[in-house]
Amino acid sequence: TKGEVRVVRGRASARARGRNATVVALEKGSVQNPYKVAYLPGDGVGPEVTQSALTVLRSLADYTEMHLDFEEGVFGEKALEQMGTEVPDETVALCKRSDAVLRGYQGFSKGSAEHGADSVTGHVKLGKALGLFAQLRPTVIYPQLETESPLKQGLVQGLDIMLVREVSAGALRYDDEAMQESHEVKQTFSYTEEEVDNVASVALQIAEARNGKIHNVDKADRLSVSAFWRKKLHSYIERATAGRQDIRLRDMFIDDFCRELIQNPKKFDVVVTSNLFGDMIAEVMGSIAGPLRLSPSAWFGADGLSVYGPADIFNASAYGSGGGSGNGNARQLSTNPVAMIRSASMMLRYGLDEPAASDLLEKALMKVLTDMEKDSTTADFEAAAFTDAMVKALEYMHQFEMVCSPGECGE
């Protein structure tokens, strides 16, 4: 329905609607009806970090009695070599019949034509095929990793921002309508009311689950498209929150926002913006978190399907030695599974509506990072070692009953 896009779906939502006990066994996540999760390992270290996430999810499921059924799909340069396209129809069909999708890294460089001119466009093709229109890009500074940020610790301590970016339209729409001649090029930069309403719906739902504060970022003083974006965004939020005082929507121009993001990042909670501005803001936010390629991401479609994977969609080789890090641990950082594990946590929270299970996974992650901090090492960011540490952390938590009750995140 126009402007009514649901971000979460799953068993917790069903419980909230008051379903009785005789129906629970048939709900998603039960042994009779497990969640169906498609996973697309991708290229390079994609399969390695994807397996890390699956191992952690299986370990988590053992303790929560939440049942998951995984099915693999071919994606990326491997698919291009085997089937002639980065996103085969079979993979699209698999994703559409799943409850959520986990996606690994794609390709080995941003601009290489090693396997054909379109070899780096798999993620965009997947987004178009699945109708993905909104991206969530969190920036969270873990206490154990505050020193990785280029900003002063006082500026980033406790930082937790969620960027909501429209990704299907605007200046970077899926279908490029550029008209190029020898001395001139023209490209469409447009939004419809429905496209703005859809992303506004996502931003509102995220804000409702957080502190209710939304910052809209645009350039409404110079761009007619931005002025339209602002007007329709406000119109939707006002209609959806009529009579309520818990949602606060403020506007900032993109230039003012970028300056404030560096000087006072904790001022922001939920940030919503258009495709082009979101592409830029996401990179700045990622840099604030440091160089370790830890950021997860989520993409949502209008039919409720969602895709989860590292915010850096390419392998580390596309971003420079060690994924942009200068500390010499190129191998460990390039196989670092944290972004994929955090993406799995986002999948539990938003794709499967299992927030208690997501919280458990985050607690295990915090324990592993704390143990690593005590050892003063980054070497254990390597996939196998980090995965083993996550499984042991979950076992430790289960041993001391640091798990949620079956009524919260299991059967």
- Report how far residue 150's alpha carbon sits from residue 178's, in angstroms, rounded to the nearest whole number: 38
* pLDDT tens-digit map of 185-195: 877 789 999 99
Instruction: Summarize the confidence of residues 174-191 as an average pLDDT.
Output: 75
Q: Which of 68-77, 304-313, 328-337 has the lowest mean pLDDT?
A: 328-337
pLDDT classification of 301: cutoffs 50, 70, 90:
very high
Q: Give the per-residue pLDDT at 314.
A: 74
**pLDDT tens string 46-81:** 999 999 999 999 999 888 888 999 999 999 888 888
User: The tokens 């178009």 sit on which residue?
Assistant: 128
The CB density around residue 335, as the number of other CB atoms within 10 Å, is 20
Residue 402 to residue 345: CA distance in whole angstroms: 17
- Cα–Cα distance, 10 to 33 (Å, whole number): 11
Confidence of residue 326 (pLDDT cuts 50, 70, 90): very low
Starting at the edge strand that comes first in sequence, how are the strands of the sheet with 100-103 ordered?
68-72, 35-40, 100-103, 306-310, 296-301, 132-140, 160-166, 270-273, 213-218, 248-253
Indicate whether 19 pLDDT > 50. Answer: no
Mean pLDDT value across residues 136-161 = 92
- Distance, CA of 205 to CA of 349 (rounded, Å): 13
With 60 as the cut, is the pLDDT of residue 269 above it? Answer: yes
pLDDT at 12 (0 to 100) = 53
**What burial letters (b/e) apply to 176-201, b meaning 16+ CB within 10 Å?**
eeeeeeeeeeeeebebeeebbbbbbb
Would the pLDDT of 332 be above 60?
A: no
Over the chain, what is the mean pLDDT? 83
Question: In Å, what is the CA distance from 334 to each residue of 34, 197, 308, 370, 379?
Answer: 32, 38, 19, 21, 11
- pLDDT at site 397: 85
Residue 53 buriedness (CB in 10 A; 0-12 / 13-18 / 19+): buried
Q: What is the mean predicted confidence (pLDDT) over 37-52?
A: 93
Q: Give every CB contact of residue 284 below 8 A, 6+ residues apart in sequence.
A: 258, 261, 262
Residue 40 confidence (pLDDT): 96
Q: Can you give the pLDDT at residue 362?
A: 94
Q: Is the pLDDT of residue 130 over 80?
A: yes
393's tokens: 């952390």
Determine what percent of the chain is predicted with pLDDT higher than 90. 56
Structure tokens at 137: 């890009």
Q: In the predicted model, is pLDDT for residue 263 greater than 90?
A: yes
Query: Per residue in 89-123, pLDDT tens?
Result: 999 999 999 999 999 988 765 544 444 444 447 88
Q: Which of 130-134, 148-152, 260-264, 329-333 has the lowest mean pLDDT?
A: 329-333
